[in-house]
Structure 1
C-alpha cells in the first residue's frame, strides 16, 4: 500500500508520472549523462539527499501542488532547487549541523521546535523580539533558517507533510523587523521548500507594525496568505495546539526553550564517522545503487507499466532507498539539540558508532 498514490486521482497520478519522466530527462540534459547514470551526478545526488528518509513521490508532489499541477513549471523549479542546494552548500550545513551555526544565535531562542499541533504538525515557534537586526551577520541567520527548515523534515510523521509556525510578536519593535531575513525565509519556503506550511499563527501582534505587515503580506503568495491567522486570545491558540506541548511563554506548561549544546559523546561520534572514510564510501555506493534501482523501476512505472510486479518492486526499491540512506546518515549529518532532548530519534548514530568503536561488522548494505 502506498498512502501517497492511494490518495491521488488518475489525473494527478499521471502528472506525477510525467514529472518523474521530465525530471530524469532534465537532470540527464543538465549533466550530459544517460538516464541510468544520473545517480552518479551532482544533481542526482542533491535530489536524493533532499529526499532523505522521505517517499520520493512526496517531494515531487510538493512542487506539483504548489505549481498547481503544472508539470513543466514544477520540474523547472526542482532543477533550480538542486542548483541552489549545491551552490548554497546545504549538504555541508547538514553535515556539520550546529557546528556551522552561531550557537550564541541558537541560544537566543528566536526560533525552535516544540510539540505538535492537534492535527499532528510539528510546531515551530518564532519570537522576533529575540532577533535584533544586525546583531549577527545575515549569513549566520540564513544558515540558522535553512538548518531549521531541514530539521523540521525529521520531525514529520507520515502522512503529515507540513508544519505549523507560531510568530509570537510580544515585545517586538521596529529594531526586530529584519526585512532581509523575512524575505529570505519567504523565498526559501516558496522556491525551495514548497507546500511546507500548514498554519501560520500570529500572536500578540502590535498594530503599530501594521505597515510592515502590509509589506510582508505583499510578498506572500495567495496560497500562503490563506494560511495566516491572527490569534487574539489564549483560548484561540489552545483550540489548535494543546498547552501541554507549548512553552510557558506561549500559554503552555512546558519549560521555555533552552538550547543544549553538543556533548562530549556527540563530538566523539561526529569525529569517528568523519574519520571513517572507508565506511562512508561503502554507504555512499550502496545508496547510489539504491537510487539507480529506484529510478529504473520508477521510469518503467511512469511509462505505463502498472503491473503488480512493478508496483511491488517499486515499493521494495523505496524501502531499500530509505534503508541505505539511514546507513549513510551518520556520515553526512550529525546529532542536534533535538536528538539530545529526545525529540528526533535516529538510533543509527549510536548503533553504527558502537559497531565501529567495538570493531563489529561493517554496516549492512545491499547492492543491486
Structure 2
C-alpha cells in the first residue's frame, strides 16, 4: 500500500521549507566548526553561533560536531533537522536552539554512552546494580512492547499500564528504560515515515499504577527531545478513576501532542487505526501473539569490547561525514528551485546512503543487542518485520 506522505517531510518540501532546511544547516555547520560559509548566498545568513552556544554545555566546535553526528546515528540527517523545524513551525532559529539543546541533553543523559551502549546486556552481568536489575525486570514484565503496525504503517508501541508499579524501580531506572525503548523505536523507522503509534492500554488500571513522574518525563522527551515522533496516541479502555487524573495531565500537554490523542474502548474504535490482522486478540483483532521476553545470550555483545574494530569503522564514518558536509555546503549555496540544486541534493542523498550503511556496520560496536533483534523483528540485514516474533505465544 502506498502511503500519503506528510507535508514538510523528507522528499515532500515546498521551496520555502527547503530554504528553511538550508538555513538550518548553515547554522548547524557553523556550530560544527565549518568556516567556508560566508561566501555567495550563504553570507546573507547571520552568524548566530555565539548566541546558540549559550544553550550548550560543551561549547566547543569539536564537542558539538561529535555530539551532533552521534545523535544522527542511522537517520537521514535532514529527517532529524526537519522534525525540529516542524515542531517550531519553521522558525529556523527556534528550531536550531531546540535541536542543539536536545543534542546537548542527549550527551548529559548518557543516551549513547550508557543507555544504548549497555542496554539489555546488563542482564548478563555477574553483579548488576539495583537499577540494572530493575531495568531488565521491566523488559521481563511485559509492561511495554512493539507489535505490528497501524494503518499508516507506523510501528505500534503498547504500554500495559496495569503492569507498572511506581515503587518497583527508581526514577533513574525508569527513565533509562523509557529512553532505551525510544531509541529502539528510532532504529525501526526511516524518514519520511518516522513516526510511531503509541497505545496506553488502561485495562485494569488503578491508582496504585499512577506515576506522575513517568507521565511528566514522557511529555518532556516527546515534546522537546524527540519531537514529531508520535503519529497518534491511543488511550484505550480508561476506567472511571482515570478521568480525574486526566484533567491534571491534559494541562501539561503541548497542543500538538494533545491533538494526536484519541480515546478508544471497543474493537471498532481500535480498528479505526489498526487493521484487524495487526490487532491483537485481546483488543478484538486477529493477531494471537502474546509478549514473552527473549533473554540476552552470552557472547551476543562481544563487539562492544572490540575498541580497535569500533575505531576502524568510526574512522570510515567520519570520512563519510566530511563528504556529507562538503555536499551540504555546495547544496546550501544554490537556489532550491534550480536544476543545479536538485542535482546537488540527489548527489548529497547518495553520500547520506553511505552513512546509513556505515551505521549498521558500526551498530554492534556501539549498541547492545535488543529484544527486537533477538525476537526477529530486526534481522541480520537490518530489515524490519514488525511481526517477526511469530513463534512466541506465551501469556504474561
TM-score normalized with structure 1 length: 0.86
Match of 1:14 in 2: 19
Q: How many residues align?
A: 337
Flag structure 2 segments of 5+ consecutive residues without an equivalent.
34-48, 123-131, 384-396
Query: Is the contact made by 1:327 and 1:348 (CA closer than 8 Å) also made in structure 2?
Result: no
Equivalent residue of 1:112, what SS? strand
Aligned counterpart for 1:336 among listed residues 364, 370, 373 = 370
Partners of 2:295 and 2:63 in 1: how far apart?
33
Indicate which of 300, 317, 333 corresponds to 1:269: 300
Contact 2:200/2:235 (CA < 8 Å) preserved in 1? yes
Residue 32 of structure 1: how far off its partner (Å):
6.8
Summarize the alignment of residues 1-368 of structure 1 with structure 2, pairs less than 5 Å apart. 5-28=10-33, 29=49, 30=53, 41-92=62-113, 93-100=115-122, 101=132, 102-252=135-285, 253-263=287-297, 267-271=298-302, 273-304=303-334, 307=340, 310-347=344-381
Deviation for aligned residue 1:334: 2.5
Once the two structures are TM-superposed, the CA of residue 165 in structure 1 deviates from its matched residue by 0.6
Structure with the bigger percentage of helix = 1
- Report SS of the residue matched to 2:169: coil
Are the counterparts in 2 of residues 204 and 231 from structure 1 also a CA contact under 8 Å?
yes
Which string of whole-angstrom CA distances, capped at 9 and with x for unpartnered residues, describes residues 197-243 of structure 1?
11111111112221211111111111111111111311110231123
160-169 or 3-12, larger mean C-alpha shift = 3-12
Partners of 2:11 and 2:243 in 1: CA distance: 44
Change in CA separation of 1:5 and 1:112 when aligned onto 2, cut-off 3 Å: closer
Tell me the alpha carbon deviations over residues 270-297 of structure 1, each in whole angstroms, 9 at most, x when there is no partner: 12x1332221111011111111220121
- Cα distance in structure 1, aligned partners of 2:326 and 2:190: 27
Could you tell me which runs of 5 or more consecutive residues in structure 1 were left unpaired when the two chains were aligned.
Answer: 350-368
The 3 A distance-change label for structure 1 pair 346 and 57 is farther
* Aligned-partner Cα distance in 1 for 2:206–2:162: 7
RMSD over equivalenced CA pairs, Å: 2.1
- Tell me if structure 1 keeps the 8 A contact 2:31–2:64: no
TM-score (norm 2): 0.80
